[in-house]
Amino acid sequence: MNRIISENGLALIKRFEGCRLTAYQDSVGVWTIGYGHTLDVSKGRTITQQQADHYLRADCANAEKAVNRYIHIYHWNQNQFDALVSFTFNCGSGNLRTLLNGGTRSISQISEKIPAYRKAGGKVLQGLVNRRAAEKTLFDTPVAPAANLSPSPTYQKPVSYLQTDPRWKTHNYSAKGEQKTIGSSGCGVAVSAMVIASLKDPAVTPVTTAEWSMSHGYKALNQGTYYSYLYHHFSSNSLTCERLTQANLYGKSTSAAHEKALLALQGGDWVIACMGKGNWTSTGHFILLYRFESGFVYINDPASTKETRLKSTWDLFAGQVKYMWVVRVPNKMASRPDM
């Protein structure tokens, strides 16, 4: 199965990329911020360190995908995978293909070739010499046998809140000009309450999150909760929340976003999903996925305790989801499976 980069691999990339929280132009004039992030960056933009870390994980996705294309040939261990994601992040997938000679080189031959990629603009740069040396060292470092095992992960199950709980179902959750309640419109804040109560503060309830949402303008008139609410409320609680796509996925069962969500679940992280018409809703509805096993996803649904809504095949879920966010579970109990 596919792998994702470890914290050790991210640390290597961070060390050589450096981090700048104010937008700058790189050597060829491209506006850049954080750890080499270039998407939607313009002059004068600033970000937080947490946003920089968020962008780095998102930007690693393409490099991870490129290295995973060869995993059926090489069965990378985690150190080899991390080293090559760093290499690809810096050099691109075309140079990865050349390094591997399309998957025909041996592991030892790949190791020998890594240091050759040390030039930019035809000149040898000491920074690239140092980076290639660090990547080669990591690539060559054995992984303890226990780290290569693929135990069945143990999953951290979040607390479950129902938006229709009598304790808060009639609590106000309204934008200006309407009269709504948590029970009628609070699936988004109920899901966020599950996450924050489980990972940060057990005292948090849907009342807490609804009040925060309204006070910050995230209640949508005659609808539910604005999508941007999730990132900002979790950030205020020092939790990482990554939106996987801006495009509506409804009716599509496969995409890069689906793949990344599945990898996150397999690694012990959680996925918030806004569902379209089908098994969970006739309009739109937020749910929380916390486990994937044997083709099934396990769900906290803030509007139901029906078994068919709490456990589903991945294929059924994937065909009905519209948007997804990954929530990183700090100090996760789950061991990442061999991907």
In the structure, what pLDDT confidence band is assigned to residue 153 with cuts at 50, 70 and 90? low
Q: Considering only residues 144 and 300, tell me which one the structure prediction assigns the higher pLDDT.
A: 300
53: nearest Cα among 19, 4, 16, 91: 19
* CA 108/CA 135 separation, integer angstroms: 14
Predicted pLDDT of residue 180: 96
Measured over all CA atoms, what is the biggest interatomic distance in the chain, rounded to whole angstroms?
Answer: 69
pLDDT tens digits for 122-134? 899 999 999 999 9
* CA 259/CA 250 separation, integer angstroms: 15
Query: Any catalytic annotation for residue 17?
Result: yes
Q: Considering only residues 316 and 198, tell me which one the structure prediction assigns the higher pLDDT.
A: 198
Predicted pLDDT of residue 339: 30
What is the average per-residue pLDDT within 188-196? 98
Q: Please determine, for residue 336, whether its predicted confidence score (pLDDT) is greater than 60.
A: no
* CA 41/CA 241 separation, integer angstroms: 20
* CA 225/CA 218 separation, integer angstroms: 6
pLDDT tens digits for 78-114? 999 999 999 999 999 999 999 999 999 999 999 999 9
> What is the overall mean pLDDT for the chain?
90
302: nearest Cα among 157, 163, 158, 159: 163
In the structure, what pLDDT confidence band is assigned to residue 154 with cuts at 50, 70 and 90? low
- pTM equals 0.57
Which candidate in 7, 17, 211, 242 is catalytic? 17
Amino acid at 279: N
What 3-state class would DSSP assign to 125? Answer: coil
Q: Please determine, for residue 295, whether its predicted confidence score (pLDDT) is greater than 60.
A: yes
Task: Give the contacts of 331 (CB within 8 A, at least 6 positions apart).
Answer: none
Q: Please determine, for residue 53, whether its predicted confidence score (pLDDT) is greater than 90.
A: no
Q: Please determine, for residue 152, whether its predicted confidence score (pLDDT) is greater than 90.
A: no
pLDDT tens digits for 236-279? 999 999 999 999 999 987 788 888 898 888 888 999 999 999 99
Predicted pLDDT of residue 58: 86
